[in-house]
Chains A and B, each alone.
Chain A
Amino acid sequence: MPNQLRIFLPVGVAVVAYALGAIAAFAAAPNSCVDCHSQIHEQIIADSKEDVHTRVGLTCVSCHGGNPSIADEKSMDPKEGFIGAPKPKDIPQFCARCHSDPAYMRPYNPSLPVDQLEKYATSRHGELLKKGDAKVATCISCHKSHGILPASNTRSSVHPQKVPLTCSMCHSDANYMAEYGIPTNQFAQYADSTNVHGYALFVKGDIGAPACNDCHSNHGALPPGVEQVGQVCTQCHALNGEFFRTSPHKDGFDALGLMECAFCHQASPDLNDPKARIHTIVSPKHSMIGTKEPSLCAKCHSGDPGAEMAAVVSKDLDSLEARLHHARELLERAERRGLEVSDAQWKLKSEVLQARMELRTSIHSFNLKQYVPFYERADTALNSVVIAGIAAADETRHRITYYIVMTVIIALLVAGLGLKMRDIERSRKE
């Protein structure tokens, strides 16, 4: 036997024996939590199996304390460290024992924030809980108590597509919310098919679309104040916000107490009830701008510079849309006839549509001087596509003309050859 084998063989045998012993001991170890609760709390045990905490090796004891190796009720003796189920008012602190401890959390999930409790304390939920209101949402209201799944799991109650439904469990319940005096139609408004954000999230499956928590915050949930709504929207719509802040509308909206973006972009804005449909943000339409109803501008402006700009922008946008429609038709017709117009199509999709989006953004400056260069850029880009479309239509006409001319020449040649043939045959007979 080689020397190395003499040394490694006993060591190997010892390691394997230890491992087998450990497995046997683990398998045999009693777990009184599971043994007892599997009979009375079947669902909790089932849920816990896929709980994110179970998956990283935590057990009932990790949260509830106690000694599961004791087979009877003594396992739940406070002397054994048993805490039991926390009361609703204690839940945030209960979870925060670990979740607010960066050193404890780091090995499990170093990127997970540890400030949830601090944020919760600043939330409306946290404020009310502090005042003794046990009805408000705590950690388990949104995350569940057992069977907690990471937000990235599509079955999780806090997955982006599930958040509106989770919030609506309380916020759409008129009886439950009665004592708080706030509306309960937020989910209905958000899930309305005309709401661009809800449509993007639910129908298009775009999990980047804002759900409740993106505007209200998740752990620090609080309705944004009138003056903060614009800030919230500009988290995504940055340029629109930038234009608006330097526009003459900014002071006007502040003075009237209107919620900047949300007032104009909600479905059917009403000056008498400016918050009526703020959870249904509709896709912007050109009809929003103009000097006559249903234009929004007409609600405040008439015969003033604002109305003049509204008239100019409305006319520009209508003309741009009509020409865009014409350009699309020209290119589609050319493609149907087999012409190669991919460059013009590409220009339409990239340059023109981008310029149109920038133009629409620039309208939020409510300043003609700032708006005009954007219109000119969109106009120039669109003109080049229209010209390409017209050239394609001309080319089609030319091709047909060439074909007709060639066919006439060919027909004449065939007729000439036919006559020649007849002459030859006739002269041969004579």
Chain B
Amino acid sequence: MIARLFNWINSRYKIEKLLYFSREKSVPLHRGTMWYYFGGITLFLFGVQVITGLVLLFYYRVGSDASFESVKFIITQVKFGWLLRSMHSWSANLMVLAAIIHMMSVFFHRSYRKPREMTWVTGVTMLFLLMVFGFSGYLLPWNELAFFATKVGTDSARAIPLIGDFLLKLMRGGSDVTGATLSRFFGLHVSVLPPIFTGLLALHLFFVQVQGMSEPLESAGHGRKRTMPFLPDFLLRDLMVWLVTFDILLLLSVFFPWELGVKADPFSPAPAGIKPEWYFLFVFQSLKMLPAHIWGIEGEVLGVMVMGVGAGVLFILPWLDRASSQGLRNRLFDVIGVFGLLYFATFTILGYLID
């Protein structure tokens, strides 16, 4: 039966070539092979996001007088709605974490080097898009924490020179966070970002398939390579990792369900200790700790500019690290990477500790 079906399809679409390609595909084996799984975990969590997001969309209603109520309805009245909502929120956070780990492993293995520059660029773009996904999705339940965190978050846009005020109004749909902001964030979250992200993801995966998985700098081009067939060996391992990830996701959703909190009230004072999502916390804390003025420039403006330059550097990294393309390891980039990680970790922890 399966053979007949295969023949029917193959006679029309020649999928045997694809199968041949898959059978030939292999994964390099070395000390850092385990880091390859984080790309797969990110992909799996994206799948979870799409499925849970679509189901939530059946019940979610947008509007300052409907959003909170509809999320409350989902988690109290819809069968397993609490699980879907919790999984969607937890999976979003785990996905950002997995993407950051994936990116750091690529960074330290210098896998961005020629000829994989565009794989890196699409990956970094997707990481930033994930953050925008998170930022826009955070407001959708229209609860107090989300409302004020969005207020603080969008307010940072003011510090961007020249276009700051324009950007703030563009994001908020006015001068303040209102139902108009909610509508914009909803539109961004469910119709603007998904197709862009899916396109980039397809491109990213296409590049990986065409160029294969990168080997670490030290082992590349040295003698006979140890590899593992992608099908079925690596895929089976991937499946096992995905199952464990799914179980962790269930564990978090069951024992630490994502709180709904209280409905946003624009007229109430901001509660103490408003903080953004953890992956924005290092930015938030850095801007908070900057002095009012540095070298005559407003501290926050300078901070935003430095962050912008940092993000730009991340994009053009493959072209900055020329040594890696020649098979050499420039230790300066390792130092920068470790410093970056320590900075991210320290300021995230400080963000949680300091009110």
Q: Which A residues lie at the B interface, using CB under 8 A?
A: 337-340, 342-343, 399-400, 402-403, 406-407, 410, 413-414, 417-418, 420-421, 424-425
Give which listed residue, B72, B243, B255, contacts A410 with CB less than 8 A. B243
Q: Which residue on B lies nearest to A403, using beta carbons?
A: B254
Q: Could you tell me if B237 and A421 are in contact, using CB atoms closer than 8 angstroms?
A: yes
When distances are taken between beta carbons in the complex, the residues of chain B under 8 Å from A338 are 255-259
Q: Could you tell me if B257 and A420 are in contact, using CB atoms closer than 8 angstroms?
A: no
When distances are taken between beta carbons in the complex, the residues of chain B under 8 Å from A403 are 250-251, 254-255
* B35 in the interface (beta carbon within 8 A): no
Q: Which residue on B lies nearest to A421, using beta carbons?
A: B236
Q: Could you tell me if B250 and A414 are in contact, using CB atoms closer than 8 angstroms?
A: no
Query: Which 7 pairs show the lowest CB-CB distances between chains A and B?
Result: A338-B257, A403-B254, A410-B247, A421-B236, A399-B254, A417-B240, A410-B243
When distances are taken between beta carbons in the complex, the residues of chain B under 8 Å from A424 are 232-233, 236
A403-B254, A421-B237 are contacts. A340–B243 as well, Cβ < 8 Å?
no
Q: Which residue on A lies nearest to B258, using beta carbons?
A: A338
Q: Could you tell me if A407 and B76 are in contact, using CB atoms closer than 8 angstroms?
A: no
When distances are taken between beta carbons in the complex, the residues of chain B under 8 Å from A417 are 236, 239-240, 243
* B residues 215-261 touching A (CB-CB < 8 Å): 232-233, 236-237, 239-240, 243-244, 246-247, 250-251, 254-260
When distances are taken between beta carbons in the complex, the residues of chain B under 8 Å from A420 are 232, 236
The B interface is mostly helix, strand or loop, or mixed, namely helix
* B82 in the interface (beta carbon within 8 A): yes
Q: Could you tell me if A421 and B233 are in contact, using CB atoms closer than 8 angstroms?
A: yes
The total of interchain contacts (Cβ-Cβ below 8 angstroms) comes to 54
Give which listed residue, A340, A342, A407, contacts B250 with CB less than 8 A. A407
* B177 in the interface (beta carbon within 8 A): no
When distances are taken between beta carbons in the complex, the residues of chain A under 8 Å from B76 are 340, 343
Q: Could you tell me if A410 and B244 are in contact, using CB atoms closer than 8 angstroms?
A: yes
Q: Could you tell me if A425 and B259 are in contact, using CB atoms closer than 8 angstroms?
A: no
Give which listed residue, A339, A414, A421, A425, contacts B257 with CB less than 8 A. A339
9 further A-B contacts with Cβ under 8 Å, apart from A337-B255, A410-B247, A417-B243, are: A339-B257, A340-B75, A342-B72, A343-B76, A399-B254, A407-B251, A410-B246, A414-B240, A421-B233
When distances are taken between beta carbons in the complex, the residues of chain A under 8 Å from B75 are 340
Q: Which residue on A lies nearest to B244, using beta carbons?
A: A414
Complex-state Cα separation, A117 to B257, whole angstroms: 68
Complex-state Cα separation, A410 to B239, whole angstroms: 11
Task: Give chain B nearest CB distance to A62 CB in angstroms.
Answer: 46
Q: Binary interface profile of B, 250-278, with partner A (CB < 8 Å = 1, else 0)?
A: 11001111111010000000000000000
Q: Could you tell me if B254 and A400 are in contact, using CB atoms closer than 8 angstroms?
A: yes
Task: Give chain A nearest CB distance to B74 CB in angstroms.
Answer: 10
Complex-state Cα separation, A338 to B247, whole angstroms: 19
Complex-state Cα separation, A425 to B250, whole angstroms: 31
Complex-state Cα separation, A418 to B247, whole angstroms: 17
The A interface is mostly helix, strand or loop, or mixed, namely helix
When distances are taken between beta carbons in the complex, the residues of chain B under 8 Å from A340 are 72, 75-76, 82, 260
Q: Which residue on A lies nearest to B228, using beta carbons?
A: A425
When distances are taken between beta carbons in the complex, the residues of chain B under 8 Å from A339 are 82, 257
Complex-state Cα separation, A410 to B243, whole angstroms: 6
Complex-state Cα separation, A413 to B241, whole angstroms: 11
Task: Give chain B nearest CB distance to A148 CB in angstroms.
Answer: 37
* B residues 301-333 touching A (CB-CB < 8 Å): none
When distances are taken between beta carbons in the complex, the residues of chain A under 8 Å from B250 are 403, 406-407
Q: Which residue on B lies nearest to A411, using beta carbons?
A: B247
Task: Give chain A nearest CB distance to B287 CB in angstroms.
Answer: 31
List 13 A-B residue pairs with CB atoms under 8 Å apart, sorted by A's residue number. Answer: A337-B255, A338-B258, A339-B82, A340-B76, A410-B243, A410-B244, A414-B240, A417-B236, A417-B239, A420-B236, A421-B232, A424-B233, A425-B233
Task: Give chain A nearest CB distance to B263 CB in angstroms.
Answer: 9
When distances are taken between beta carbons in the complex, the residues of chain A under 8 Å from B240 are 414, 417-418
Complex-state Cα separation, A420 to B254, whole angstroms: 30
When distances are taken between beta carbons in the complex, the residues of chain A under 8 Å from B251 are 403, 407
Task: Give chain A nearest CB distance to B1 CB in angstroms.
Answer: 22
Task: Give chain A nearest CB distance to B239 CB in angstroms.
Answer: 6
Complex-state Cα separation, A402 to B233, whole angstroms: 31
Q: Which residue on B lies nearest to A412, using beta carbons?
A: B243
Task: Give chain B nearest CB distance to A380 CB in angstroms.
Answer: 22
Task: Give chain B nearest CB distance to A384 CB in angstroms.
Answer: 15
Complex-state Cα separation, A229 to B120, whole angstroms: 85
Give which listed residue, B232, B247, B260, B262, contacts A406 with CB less than 8 A. B247
Complex-state Cα separation, A125 to B119, whole angstroms: 94
Complex-state Cα separation, A423 to B82, whole angstroms: 40
Task: Give chain B nearest CB distance to A263 CB in angstroms.
Answer: 45
Complex-state Cα separation, A399 to B255, whole angstroms: 9
Complex-state Cα separation, A424 to B228, whole angstroms: 12
When distances are taken between beta carbons in the complex, the residues of chain A under 8 Å from B258 are 338
Q: Could you tell me if A402 and B254 are in contact, using CB atoms closer than 8 angstroms?
A: yes
Complex-state Cα separation, A340 to B233, whole angstroms: 44
Q: Which residue on B lies nearest to A413, using beta carbons?
A: B243
When distances are taken between beta carbons in the complex, the residues of chain B under 8 Å from A421 are 232-233, 236-237
Q: Which residue on A lies nearest to B74, using beta carbons?
A: A340
Residue from A337, A399, A413 whose CB has the most chain B CB atoms within 10 Å: A399
Complex-state Cα separation, A421 to B250, whole angstroms: 25
Complex-state Cα separation, A337 to B258, whole angstroms: 10
When distances are taken between beta carbons in the complex, the residues of chain A under 8 Å from B239 are 417
When distances are taken between beta carbons in the complex, the residues of chain A under 8 Å from B83 are 399
Q: Which residue on A lies nearest to B254, using beta carbons?
A: A403
Complex-state Cα separation, A6 to B72, whole angstroms: 75
When distances are taken between beta carbons in the complex, the residues of chain B under 8 Å from A414 are 240, 243-244
Residue from B75, B243, B254, B262 whose CB has the most chain A CB atoms within 10 Å: B254
When distances are taken between beta carbons in the complex, the residues of chain A under 8 Å from B236 are 417, 420-421, 424
Task: Give chain B nearest CB distance to A170 CB in angstroms.
Answer: 44
When distances are taken between beta carbons in the complex, the residues of chain A under 8 Å from B237 are 421
Task: Give chain B nearest CB distance to A75 CB in angstroms.
Answer: 57
Task: Give chain B nearest CB distance to A352 CB in angstroms.
Answer: 19
Task: Give chain A nearest CB distance to B79 CB in angstroms.
Answer: 12
Task: Give chain A nearest CB distance to B231 CB in angstroms.
Answer: 10
When distances are taken between beta carbons in the complex, the residues of chain B under 8 Å from A410 are 243-244, 246-247
Residue from A338, A400, A425 whose CB has the most chain B CB atoms within 10 Å: A338
